[in-house]
Structure 1
Amino acid sequence: MTFAGNDQPTDNAAGAGAGAVPEAADGAGAAARGPVRVFLVDDHAMFRTGVKAELAGLHDDRLDIVGEAGSVGEAVVRITAEPPDVVLLDVHMPDGGGRAVLDQVHGTHPDVVFLALSVSDAAEDVINVIRGGARGYVTKTISGRELADAVVRVAAGDAVFSPRLAGFVLDAFAQRPGTEVRDPELDLLSPREREVLKLLARGYAYKEIASQLFISIKTVETHVSSVLRKTQMSNRYELSRWATDRRLV
């Protein structure tokens, strides 16, 4: 997220999605419907505070922040109890991440729209949440104004992506239209094993992986051993190449 006064580059999400709605028409539609009720899901409290402050500072009558959660369990309970219009969803959280929220909410509350907001720009992460039902995916380098516009657009039915991410989705679904793109070897791994493998391939030490995933070093070692066995690799360097070939990093 690019906050006021920050000179970081931003994603032009407002122009990146398909089916853009003209500004005047979109504004009129939002006024007729009332503000979009937005719920934030992110395990970092400071980030949630920053997003709320940034959006509030825009004085944008199109948006109303109605709640927040810092874990999958809390998010599921609060979203299903009082469904918002749009959920801004972090992809990686210690207790399962954005896909876990989607799996538990999207089927029973199809009117709730999910927009992934993540630091990750990995193809696997983008495709995973889109398959789970998210309507778009933007990275945390996005500006507050662009985020507000993205929220309004997904609420109106558009699909919104940060520019380079849309290609991941198009490439994935173009390979086998109407079906999921599957890798039999990759499908052998559990979601946690994939998380460990991804961090391992990025050069993280076991201690760093344990810290990132909030698990013990012993558990990391167990997952790595399981991945080595399932992939029939002999060391972490072969695993890194294997993961890179499958665009996990």
Structure 2
Amino acid sequence: MTSRESTHRAEPPRVSVVIVDDHAIFRSGLRATLGDVISVVGEAATVEEAEVVIRATGPDVVLLDVHLPGGRGGGGAEVIHRCAAFATTSRFLALSVSDSAEDVVAVIRAGARGYVTKTISGPEITDAVQRIASGDAVFSPRLAGFVLDAFGTAAVAVDDELDRLSGRELEVMRLIARGYSYRETATELFISIKTVETHVSAVLRKLQLSSRHELTRWATERRLL
């Protein structure tokens, strides 16, 4: 290869990231940390802003705080649920000051690929983003145990129950269980109210439940919300 050919060789595209955190100073610092090797394509401070920005930019990775204002109080997990229908190629990495088992398990159940705390160093968060983008799962060392415990024997039964549901039925189940009306669910998933009704009936039948109130209790007990 000649020096000219080497000079003009295309570099691989940088990983694109959206930062979701309600502290502007932290977002600014994180953007500066990632700037040399990661392309930060958007920022958001609330659940609603995150949904809009993620829909508009379609990032490879979303760096997501667990506790966020807005929405229905679901924080980072709610952002993942809201984006499930359209952010099919985006991967979510939780980045939070919290290291509680409850927070870790909730956001992983929602669909995050990893969870790291804000004590992480600059090089470590850059590496974590790149690994998440490539399909790996990433956890701060002491948090991995929470995930293993939560998704151990007890989780097998839940997985068996969830395996009865299609992908769309699972999306509908989570929204209805969190208190969304049929109309709100239809709007959220871009489907008709009649289709929502059909999916809800199928979910109740497959899970052997008799009402949406039982569905909410079922999902809450299994920490699926």
TM-score normalised to the size of structure 2? Answer: 0.62
1:138/1:160 contact within 8 Å kept: yes
Q: Which runs of 5+ in 1 are unaligned?
A: 1-30, 182-189, 192-249
User: Corresponding residue for 1:215?
Assistant: none
User: Corresponding residue for 1:71?
Assistant: 46
- Structure 1 residues 171, 34: CA separation in 2 closer, same or farther (over 3 Å shift)? same
Count of equivalent residues: 149
Partner Cα separation in structure 1 for residue 64 and residue 81 of structure 2: 13
1:116 equivalent in alignment to 2:116: no
Q: Deviations over 1:141-175 (max 9, x none)?
A: 00010000000001001000000001100011113
1:91/1:125 contact within 8 Å kept: yes
2:41/2:57 contact within 8 Å kept: no
User: Corresponding residue for 1:42?
Assistant: 21
User: Corresponding residue for 1:170?
Assistant: 148
What secondary structure does 2:151 align onto? Answer: helix
Identity %: 58
- Structure 1 residues 55, 82: CA separation in 2 closer, same or farther (over 3 Å shift)? closer
Partner Cα separation in structure 1 for residue 79 and residue 107 of structure 2: 10
User: Corresponding residue for 1:133?
Assistant: 111
Q: Of 49, 54, 61, which residue of structure 1 is paired with 2:33?
A: 54
Partner Cα separation in structure 2 for residue 34 and residue 152 of structure 1: 12
Partner Cα separation in structure 2 for residue 44 and residue 94 of structure 1: 11
Q: Of 64, 72, 89, which residue of structure 2 is paired with 1:89?
A: 64
Q: Which has the higher contact order (CA 8 A, sep 6+)?
A: 1
Partner Cα separation in structure 2 for residue 180 and residue 120 of structure 1: 26
1:152 equivalent in alignment to 2:127: no
Q: Deviations over 1:3-23 (max 9, x none)?
A: xxxxxxxxxxxxxxxxxxxxx
Q: What is the root-mean-square deviation in Å for CA atoms of aligned residues?
A: 2.0
What secondary structure does 2:156 align onto? Answer: coil
Shift of residue 44, structure 1, vs aligned partner: 0.6
Shift of residue 32, structure 1, vs aligned partner: 6.7
